[in-house]
Amino acid sequence: MWRCRANALMYDDEDLVRVQFVVNARGRKGMSLVVPQGFYGNAFSFAVAESAAGELRRRTYGHALRLVVDAKANAMEDGHLQSVADLMAASGRPRFAVARTYVVSDITRAGLRDVDVGWGRAVYGGPATATLATFHLAGRNEADEEGVLVPMRLPAPAMERLKLEVASGLGVIGADAPAGCSLSQIGFQKLIQT
């Protein structure tokens, strides 16, 4: 989605684009970081992958994936989370770069669809509106097929380009698809099988 979103927003080739995502610090084997017994707060850090927009556009999806995998591995290195915590404490939690940054969090396994507050099983569990961050959510379509929802807010022309980028990247349609093509017309099942 990072590559598709960057392409849809038509950044200049030399613009640096980033994907930022949460890395959990709990229960990681081989790490010296131990969350203290009885601590029930958050224990995570952000990992960031970065690329020039032109390079991300020209290279394969595998290249984008490698950047993300490497960023996650770097964030999980022994000492990194402690270093981030020290930086945050010393500098008063500086803001992260938001320009050309795609912030994403995968909450597909959070169990939000199973929450029942007395009205029955949830139809949707996630943010009420699209925000700076994009949350990948577990979902089902009208045929009750499982999939992943990726709510995102972009300007209308960029959203149309995003639909084509995603469909083309998944091999569902060719890059020369008509401008009015919609992913809902392509089919939910085809997308989740890829």
This prediction has a pTM of 0.76
21 φ/ψ angles, rounded to the nearest 5 degrees: -145, 160
40 and 58: one domain?
A: yes
190 and 142: one domain?
A: no
90 and 149: one domain?
A: no
What single-letter DSSP state applies at residue 177? Answer: -
Q: How many domains does the chain have?
A: 3
- Above 70 in pLDDT, residue 178? no
Q: Which two tokens stand for residue 162?
A: 């995003």
Q: What is the CATH number of the domain that holds 80?
A: 3.30.559.10
Residue 138: how many CA atoms within 13 Å on its side-chain side?
Answer: 12
pLDDT of 28 reads 62
Domain range spanning residue 129?
107-153
| Residue 50 binned pLDDT confidence (cut-offs 50, 70, 90) | very high
Q: What proportion of the chain, given as a percentage, has pLDDT over 70?
A: 84
- Contact between 76 and 44 under an 8 Å Cβ cutoff? The reply is no
Question: What's the pLDDT tens digit per position in 94-109?
Answer: 777 778 999 898 888 8
pLDDT of 132 reads 72
3 and 97: one domain?
A: yes
The Cα–Cα gap between 127 and 133 comes to 10
126 and 175: one domain?
A: no
91 and 112: one domain?
A: no
64 and 41: one domain?
A: yes
26 and 94: one domain?
A: yes
- Contact between 104 and 136 under an 8 Å Cβ cutoff? The reply is yes
164 and 190: one domain?
A: yes
2 and 81: one domain?
A: yes
